[in-house]
Amino acid sequence: MPDTSIPAKERLLVCVGPSPACADLIRAAQAMAAELRAEWFAVYVENPRMLRLPEAERNRAVYNLRLAEQLGAAAITLRGRRIGEEIINFARRRHITRIVAGKPTRPRWRDLLSGSPLEELVRESGDIDVHVLSGKPGEPKEAPVLVQPKGIHLPDYEMGVIFFILATGLSFLMFPYFNLSNLIMVYMVGVMVTAIYCGRGPGILVSLLSVLGFDFCFVPPRFTFAVEENHYILTFGVMFLVALVISQLASVIRRQAEAARLQERQTAAMQALSQELAGTRGVEQILQVAVQHLSEILGCEVVALLPDDKGRLHGAAGEMASVFHQDFIKELGVAQQTFESGEMAGWGTQNSPTSPILYVPLQAAGATLGVLALRPKDPESVQWLLPEQLRLRFLESLAKQVALALGVERLQKAALEAQVAAETERLRASLLGSVTHDFQTPLAAIMGSASSLMDLQRQLEAPQAQEMLANIYDEAERLSRLVNNLLDIAMLESGSLKLHKELQPLEEVVGAALNRLEKKLADRPLTTLLPADLPMVPLDSALAEHIFINLLENALKYTPRGSALAITAVRRDNEIEVEVADQGPGFPPEDLERIFEMFDRGAKPLSQKGYGLGLSICRAIVAAHGGRIWAENRSGGGAAVRFTLPLSDQDNQP
């Protein structure tokens, strides 16, 4: 059976233009791409002829591009003089296999004059398949609402008239010395300057005025519109035509220069926002930076809206009252619609165009993370009178930067939560393994001794029975200490244990700890150096007692029998520094940084009984009192653990 599977590397390109039928062409291309499982591109070529189109038609082209982008295409805007050539070059660079184009609708004579992009596509396509489709007539969709004022900008026309008067005045000065052909050049310069600085409309007006002024002022008979020689009529026609061409070219140059300056400003604004967002962490901080930058760049009031757990939007940054002046419920409903549809809405768009607020979705990785609501302070300022394709594209670019920063923040938060969960699981497994082993050992000893007493109670002599009972007691005490340590460390690490601080003499806390360890310290020389003028310390005496008990028990485990121990305390500024020292082998240097971690028992953990919790509990208790704890090796041999306890303000006097 032959293999009918579709090639995996199909790539499709659809040509986008300002035609109302282009939307249906894009949907047809999207269906074809889905059937072929192909990556697809929507390409719009902006040539000088496109720049001369009415604003509404250019905006419709942008609307079609955005539609393709929403349907999953990669939207691309190219610039060049020949549409077919630019599309073919792009197709070859991106290894396009199929091109979808619409049937031409303009008159044939225009194709004969300016060439047909479709014919050029077919002729230059080579091994690329070209599909020519016609969009369904249907009901034409209007382009997004224009926000530019439609009236004539009078100052530009007034300036054009001034340029005409200056050209005429200069021609009067030159008239006695130069031929009439030289005066025509002066008027051409006036037309060019007018078109560059005032636009195409004033340029056309000055072109007409220049012909009339030249005829009236300089062509015999002067100061009348009558013409003695017929060849001047041809001169006037050529002059007017050349003036129109110059006006048109200068207008195009002006548009391109304005677009270049605008792109430069927009690039600088986006770069500044990107740099600010790159150094910002936290959702609230990111949104605050975005609101501040957008407000400064666009001259508007901005509020950022984020969804809650139920998907309902609420204010996350910015002043709600500065944007939603009235009909709050209705405007918030438009924002909710924007969030759910992922499309711009409000002022200057197709969706709810009567709203005075522009809603821009924050989209990243195919999801809508929130909405930006913008209310222009001055709708006729230069930022808001940009052409539709520049204004909306710029807003979308800024919104995407903010959305990407929010997406990165979410990913980092998720990664941190995953790391915490993994660490918690590791700790839980370590705790379970350690506790299981440490519970089994004393329980086995207790059960063994109790079983022997039950089975051999009549055969055992009193000393043997007493020894077994003592073993049961010791192991039960060990088990109880393990349970208490686990409860203490759990309460301290979770923060649920509340301190009950009272002013206490440190010698009383040390004495209570020594009394509880009296039997274990029976064969150990112990020195306590506590100055008589040592101030009372605000502490929880029961927890502070655990510090000394755990430190002394730790010293008893890891030092030779009969070796000396010492407890000293001194006042240093606004705190008491306590030291518990021994004369044992000391800490391995590599263990000094980690011995206060839970379940860490040093380099030889199996040599002594223990759980690796004592020093960790000491650290937690000292930290709860606001102090510090650290371990050192003594210069004369042995180890020392030092910790500090802060003094309250009223106890600072010696």
Which sequence spans correspond to the domains of the chain?
A: 11-133, 154-257, 275-408, 498-651
Long-range contacts from 566-569, C-beta under 8 angstroms, 24+ separation: 566/526, 566/527, 566/528, 566/529, 567/510, 567/526, 567/527, 567/528, 567/529, 567/530, 568/527, 568/528, 568/529, 568/530, 569/506, 569/529, 569/530, 569/531, 569/534
More confident residue, 577 or 359: 577
More confident residue, 101 or 596: 101
Highest mean pLDDT among 197-206, 448-457, 593-602 belongs to 197-206
Percent of the chain with pLDDT over 70: 73
Look at the block and give the residue holding tokens 């004539």.
152
Per-residue pLDDT tens digits for 286-333: 788 777 777 777 777 888 888 887 778 877 777 777 777 777 777 778
Is residue 571 scored above 60 in pLDDT? yes
Instruction: Count CB-CB contacts under 10 A for residue 434.
Output: 18
Q: Which CATH superfamily is domain 11-133 in?
A: HUPs (3.40.50.620)
Q: Which residues pair with 364 in a beta bridge?
A: 367
What's the pLDDT band for 576 if we cut at 50, 70, 90?
Answer: very high
Residue 205 identity (one-letter amino acid): L
Highest mean pLDDT among 212-216, 429-433, 626-630 belongs to 626-630
What's the pLDDT band for 653 if we cut at 50, 70, 90?
Answer: very low
Per-residue pLDDT tens digits for 13-44: 988 888 777 888 888 888 888 888 888 998 88
Look at the block and give the residue holding tokens 């979308």.
396
Is residue 152 scored above 50 in pLDDT? no
Query: Quick one: pLDDT at residue 262?
Result: 63
What's the pLDDT band for 566 if we cut at 50, 70, 90?
Answer: very high
What's the pLDDT band for 4 if we cut at 50, 70, 90?
Answer: very low
pLDDT, average across residues 576-583 = 92
Burial of 96 (0-12, 13-18, 19+ CB in 10 A): buried
Is residue 608 scored above 80 in pLDDT? no
Is residue 434 scored above 70 in pLDDT? no
Per-residue pLDDT tens digits for 46-99: 776 665 566 566 667 777 887 887 788 888 888 777 888 888 888 888 888 898
pLDDT, average across residues 418-426 = 73
Alpha helices of 115-230 — where are they, by DSSP H?
Answer: 117-124, 154-174, 180-198, 200-218
Burial of 39 (0-12, 13-18, 19+ CB in 10 A): middle
More confident residue, 474 or 544: 544
pLDDT, average across residues 592-609 = 59
Look at the block and give the residue holding tokens 């991106």.
94
* Residue 80 to residue 86: CA distance in whole angstroms: 7
Query: Quick one: pLDDT at residue 135?
Result: 57
Residue 421, CA distances (Å) to 9, 427, 486 in order: 41, 10, 20
Are 19 and 135 in contact by the 8 Å Cβ rule? The answer is: yes
Q: Which CATH superfamily is domain 498-651 in?
A: Histidine kinase-like ATPase, C-terminal domain (3.30.565.10)
Are 504 and 542 in contact by the 8 Å Cβ rule? The answer is: no
Query: Quick one: pLDDT at residue 607?
Result: 45
* Residue 618 to residue 214: CA distance in whole angstroms: 101
Nearest C-alpha neighbor of 555 from the set 530, 577, 578, 587: 587
What's the pLDDT band for 460 if we cut at 50, 70, 90?
Answer: low
Burial of 187 (0-12, 13-18, 19+ CB in 10 A): buried
Query: Quick one: pLDDT at residue 643?
Result: 94
Residue 468, CA distances (Å) to 81, 200, 463, 478, 479 in order: 102, 110, 9, 15, 16
Is residue 3 scored above 50 in pLDDT? no
More confident residue, 367 or 552: 552
What's the pLDDT band for 2 if we cut at 50, 70, 90?
Answer: very low
Query: Quick one: pLDDT at residue 481?
Result: 65
Look at the block and give the residue holding tokens 């200056």.
166
What's the pLDDT band for 252 if we cut at 50, 70, 90?
Answer: confident
* Residue 185 to residue 246: CA distance in whole angstroms: 12
Percent of the chain with pLDDT over 90: 6
Write the class of the CATH domain 275-408.
alpha beta
Query: Quick one: pLDDT at residue 414?
Result: 79
Considering the chain, what is the average pLDDT of its residues? 76
Q: Which of 124-128, 381-385, 500-504 is predicted with the least confidence, judged by mean pLDDT? A: 381-385
Query: Quick one: pLDDT at residue 319?
Result: 77
